[in-house]
Structure 1
């Protein structure tokens, strides 16, 4: 089984589990397997056989369906759909304004995919990304604790079980009561520009800098632009 498919199946199990507010231990108990097995499947460390996959999904009252599509067609369809949606809807879906309001006067600049979204880029964004200075890490930690933040635990493939402080080793990714937040900790905040949507302004890393610093965002934007060029070329040929 390809590594991409293994990771896709693992992500599917994790998304279904989290949408039901189940811990890995609870899912393991329902499916009659070990918690370590669930963690390995979700991390993509193990290629799950169909019987195991069916047990995990059945424990959540869902089942696996199979379909075929052109390679990475789901990305093209997702980005085409995002391009057609108002940015205001995507801001609301991300719960961005509420999270930023709760950050209050903590110095930050919106970065990564979130900055790209605010500048009109049709790339998938599932968490608010910000740049925060190391000198403000104690204030950030205090905010995380007040917001019931749980840090991403890469070892177990779920949130929780590790210290929330940015100084502690691990990914700078937390789930809070206001949504998921990912931080790029830095010595100084990057240069920013302001973009406005409605009556609100956002300080964001310029799109060209996002593409330099974020390989995933750069790859998605390049793919989207190349597809648009092919579509225009095909329309001209017709």
Structure 2
């Protein structure tokens, strides 16, 4: 497990338990003998905190931090197995994809990444709609983001907001809008696409083979799923 992954898990657990008890960051800090800023930094999850401080914070809520082990990426495997067992139409509906595409209107874009893979039947987790947008359409995209109350992901703070929304500005091409989370691949020209249809709607998507060549994250998910599916099929034949 990477430091960033562990930091995020601690951050999520601390924030969940604090909010469950209706404690503010300031109140929890007072109970644990630290500062509100220290609590805020841990809950952002941008770096691995000192464990004695984490212990004090949980102890202030009558809790203790426990360590468990599980197979590497066991939760990811379980998530993909769950997705594979669900109808594709249902998975697409969960993405909120149509809502974002309808709001994007005539902005030139195509679906890419894990979103494109999911629309082509791959049971991969999708936590944001992923599109490719041309650099020359950046001004139109920026205007849309502002109209959609877009907030850009701040890498250092580990949250949305506090950085310019324009794609030209440094930072991740990831935004939270009133219609859902959106990620963009900015490019000189839109990649070649194929059309896939679900229900009465067609979607322009980057083909799976191109997704695997250009998106390491999606490629890793697809490889993991195929490897496990092949292993399961082999086990059933023996």
TM-score by length of 1: 0.84
Q: Deviations over 1:206-233 (max 9, x none)?
A: 0110011111111111111111111111
Query: Which residue pairs with 2:220 in the alignment?
Result: 219
Unaligned runs of 5+ in 1: 21-25
Equivalence map 1:114-153=2 (5 Å): 114-153=115-154
The verdict on how the C-alpha distance between 1:215 and 1:10 changes in structure 2, with shifts beyond 3 A counting, is farther
Q: Distance in 2 between matches of 1:53 and 1:114?
A: 39
Q: Structure 1 residues 190, 231: closer, same or farther in 2, change over 3 A?
A: same
Which residue number corresponds to residue 32 of structure 2? Answer: none
> Larger radius of gyration, structure 1 or 2?
2
Tell me what 1:180 maps to: 181
Alpha-carbon displacement from aligned partner over 1:71-128 (angstroms, at most 9, x marks no partner): 2221211111111111221222111100110000000000111001100111111000
Q: Is structure 2 residue 40 aligned with structure 1 residue 38? A: yes
Alignment partner, residue 190 of structure 2 = 189
Q: Is 1:3 equivalent to 2:17 in the alignment?
A: no
**Aligned counterparts of 2:57 and 2:179: Cα–Cα separation in 1:** 32
Distance 1:99-1:57 versus aligned 2 partners, 3 A rule: farther
Q: Equivalent residue of 2:137, what SS?
A: helix
Kindly indicate whether the alpha-carbon contact (under 8 Å) linking 1:173 and 1:181 is maintained by their aligned counterparts in 2: yes
Runs of 4+ in 1 over 4 A off after TM superposition: 13-17, 56-59, 61-67
Secondary structure class of the residue paired with 2:218: helix
Segments of structure 2 that go 5 or more residues without pairing to the other structure are 30-34
Whether the 8 Å CA contact 1:6–1:47 is kept in 2: the answer is no
1:13/1:213 Cα in 2 relative to 1: closer, same or farther (>3 Å)?
farther
Q: Report the Cα distance in structure 1 between the residues aligned to 2:63 and 2:201, rounded to whole angstroms.
A: 41
Matched with 1:108 is 109
What SS class does the counterpart of residue 129 from structure 1 fall into? Answer: strand
3-state SS of the aligned residue for 2:157? coil
1:130-155 deviation per Cα after TM superposition (whole angstroms, max 9, x unaligned): 00001111111110011000000111
Note the 1:16-95 alignment, pairs <5 A.
16=16, 28-32=25-29, 33-35=35-37, 38-39=40-41, 42-49=44-51, 52=54, 55=57, 67-95=68-96
TM-score by structure 2 length?
0.84
Tell me the number of residue pairs that the alignment of Structure 1 and Structure 2 aligns: 231
Aligned Cα root-mean-square deviation (Å) = 3.1
Is the contact between residue 12 and residue 43 of structure 2 (CA under 8 Å) also seen in structure 1? no
Distance in 1 separating the partners of 2:57 and 2:200: 49
